[in-house]
Structure 1
Amino acid sequence: MPHRLGLNRHSLRRTLIVGAAAGVVFPALIIHGTLLQSRYERDLRQSVLNPKKQTLDLLARSAATPMWTVDYTQLQDMANASIHHNSVVSIAILSEDGKVVAKAEDPERRRGHIQTEMRRIYPPSSTHEPRQPTSAATPIGTVTMEYTSYEAEKDFRSDMLQVFLALAAQAGISFGLIYLLVERRIVIPLRALRERAMQIARGKLSEPVTAARPDEIGHLAEGLEHMRTDLVALLDERDLKNKAMQDQLQAKLEAEQALNASQAKFLAIFDISPLPMVVARIDERSNLDDSSQSMTALDANEAFLQLAQIRRHEVASLKWSELFESVRELDETVRGLRLLHGVSRLECTLNAKGGGRSPICEVSGRAFSLGAERLCILMFEDVTERRTSEEAVLKLNAQLEHRVTERTEALARTNRELSDTLHHLQQAQAELMRSEKMAALGSLVADVTHELRSPIHHAQDVARQLDRLSEELLTRSPLTTEQLRDAIESVRDGSQSLKLDLGAASSLISSFRQVAMDQSSVQWRRFMLDRLVQDVATTLGPKIRRFDAELNVQVPPDLELGGYPGPLTQVIAQLVDNALQHAYEPGDRYVVDIKASRLDADHVILSVNDRGHGMAADTLNQLREDLSPQRSTRKGLGLQTVFSLVRGILGGQVTVASTAGLGTSFSITLPLNQVSQVSL
């Protein structure tokens, strides 16, 4: 039916846009998706699995001695200290009979998929280290951890959303540029040439075809001009022959009129049918696996045009792979027509070419022969209404997901705005007084003396027990083998207890001696920063335990400094004491963090942070104006001494950052190799 065939005006534009999508968007989606998946797995190992394993192993080893000595308070402290990681939901320490002796839990982290892992606790060996699990060792307890990967999964979804938005923006810009380029450089000139070609086809040969362009469009215009001139010559020749053919055509005209009348009746019946139908030619010589090339559409009725949302002149150029949404459904239809000579109620989904909703249809059809051609007629019954309720539910779910996404984005924007309001302030104060240094040293002596009292008294008790055991052995005669073995075990246990008590006292005395020597003199020497901070932490141990506080030290072991350890020791001790005395209210959980890292090739940054109530903005402004204790709400904390030591003999800088309700941070920037100065 030639009068219904026409050119697809959008085929070239659509081909270029589809090519751009296939060449730009799909590879980008695959590459970014693979990279994000790999990154998510790496982040999951680094932020959840590895810290979880390390925490479990460390807690199982550390809990051996407290479990053996039935020190449940220390076990609870260990559990509280081990739950700091945001992926840990709860930690429970169970005795060998299954009783929970210590437990720490954060209910707010109980989100997403919760997993549980456990470690056995084995009794300590003779060296007071946790015994390695062997076939002969009996566990004395169990450590159970619940952890979640919710935060890693949330970050992964956020990254996926950002990548998809960026790709969508990139695709939109690319498609827009390609559309403008194709429209101006190809489509518009081709439309002009097509219009001129249509005029030539209608017999308007008087006007020449011109297109002064040195490209394929210009060559096409030249070809049309040659065709026009050739047509003029041929038409002249045709006029001479038409006279002879008119008589022959008159006879054929009558036969064609009868055929056209019959064809018009068939087309009328075909067009008014309420069931969508299409007539197609089957190519028996084509590859059976290439379904899109096995059929060529010849005609379709009005119901089918409305169903597929296409125009009648587009039927001849209909691509079955674009009409059917699924290639599998197209393959089943073609195979049924070619092998079984028909299909019946095969459900498939159509792509509406003009846009809009894709209808779901049941396809039925029969194949038949007409002369030398193999034809088929297909009928499409629209069953979309049967899926209305299911689509309504899916649409509601999509709307809910969209609302959740919008609220998540709004919360993220609010968090960024709150982060931008944080202030980082600097302040320096007057020189420190030497009397404050000696007062701090005196307080340190009192704390160490109080701490030494417990191991020394315990050692004396053990010595008296060993003395009584020796007298009993001397008066008891004869001794059995079992009694002698029990006595030796008692002596060995007492000796081990003495070694532990005396070792703890010796370690405390060594740390105090080094800190006292450093604070009582100003001598330049090279020292390891991590060892110095550990000595200060040891000497501050009594005060930390008195406040039931948690002191976290994170100092790399390779930071070696050249400078004055005495003033630096006093600064660290003063800042920790400052946090314990004034950063918290009674009943709060006291936590102080000491961290250090290399700032650049010549400097190191040391920070002392608390998680207390912080300082208000006006208080921080007062601290910036005047560092005297009378002008600061942290009255009597010795900040004047700290600022004077750091900016003076230590040759560094101090910055203070504080937010009400979040805590305060003192950051000290020091040179790695300070030039020796005259002492204070």
Structure 2
Amino acid sequence: MAHSAGYGDLFYLAPMAYGMARGLSRFLDLPQRLPRWHRALNYIWVPAAVLIVISLAFSFKSPILGDVYWLLVLFALLGVLLALRHYRPARTLLFATAPFVVYKVLEIIIEDSNGKIPKSFDAFLDTTQGFVIIWLITFIFIARSQKKQLEKERVLREEEEKAKRLIEAQNVELERLVAERTAALTHQAQELSGALVELRTTQAQLVQSEKMASLGELTAGIAHEIQNPLNFVNNFADVSAELITELEEEQLKPDRDLELEAELLADLKQNLLKISQHGGRAASIVRGMLEHSRTSSGERTPTDINQLADEYLRLAYHGLRAKDKTFNATLKPDFDPALPPVEAIAQDLGRVLLNLLSNAFYAVRQRQMRGGEAGYAPTVGISTRRVGDKVEIRVRDNGQGIPEAVRAKIFQPFFTTKPTGEGTGLGLSLSYDIVTQGHGGTLSVTSQEGSFTEFLISLPINQAG
């Protein structure tokens, strides 16, 4: 059993202690966490130099000098670990170092005046030394793993905070643009209202058509202005995804931590792609909301359902034809000539019919574009019938049909079967509310996948009664 460090060992203990101090300082980031301790550890070799000078000056040679210095170093390192006990890797190192310090103290106590260990303690100290060394090495690796994990969490938090700040900045800018545009549109709406009042006295029908056209232009202006900041969010997400690809190429360099960077980059790329997807979704919802933003007087008046249905059948058909000149479909109106007027809000009910008919034309067009069906003729029909004290309006198409699993959710807000960018899932939800809450009626759907879809509107004839 070798004896503890003696006087001659001071010459190599000092550099060893300095190296340990520097390594601990780097591992625990002492320049940032404990700058005073960092500066003090830079002079940990000074006590050894002082002891050497004293021993040379007074010709004092004793093994206890090395032991004293070694204990001083160990307790200094323990002091650093205690000062950083709130930091998990420091606590682990403290737990790892404590048995080693106890062992060294015990060794110094057991050794004789010549710095040698009695042979009777050799076996015990050899076993203890092996244990504390294994213990120390094990927990050093654990502390290293903990530091990597904490660093990974820190980087992830920084990235999340950065993304959060960017989103908040875009939200502030979006709110500012919306406020500015709203003020401008309010002024324009006031001017249009004055013009419409003058026209209403001589040309009531022309005033109504002009009002709808003007409001349509305003709606398009609102959508255009809101779309710009939303496009910025989407573009930022796409650019960020490209930057991630470049960073993935950068991680191939030999001096990078490939495992850590690959995991972080994969998470960030996924988050940015979600920003892009939801940005596109938000833009689509805004468009859908604006399409349904027209207000009505809210007053029920006797309404010719046959005339209303025929008007919106033509409007929906020609609206789709305006987008696709090549599209043609067979129209099948079937109206009950004895149908009495129905107490209804004509504008709101027209919105419902326009939505159902537009969906019907969309369905038959999709089936036609899919191809592969010889002799297929796109057909949309609308019929009216009186059933007791109610009026039934049926909108039927021979499109692709609606799967059974989808029909249960068809009237839920924001649920749509259309591809991203083509539907918001607001139309049927608003239509359902207008029919059921606004008119006290019912709206239901029947469908056979690959064959047809039929929506049934049932309205009481006399709302007041």
Give the TM-score band, short-chain normalised: 0.3 to 0.5
Instruction: Say which structure is richer in strand.
Output: 1
TM-score under structure 2 normalisation? 0.32
TM-score under structure 1 normalisation? 0.22
Highest Rg: 1 or 2?
1
Q: Which has the higher contact order (CA 8 A, sep 6+)?
A: 2
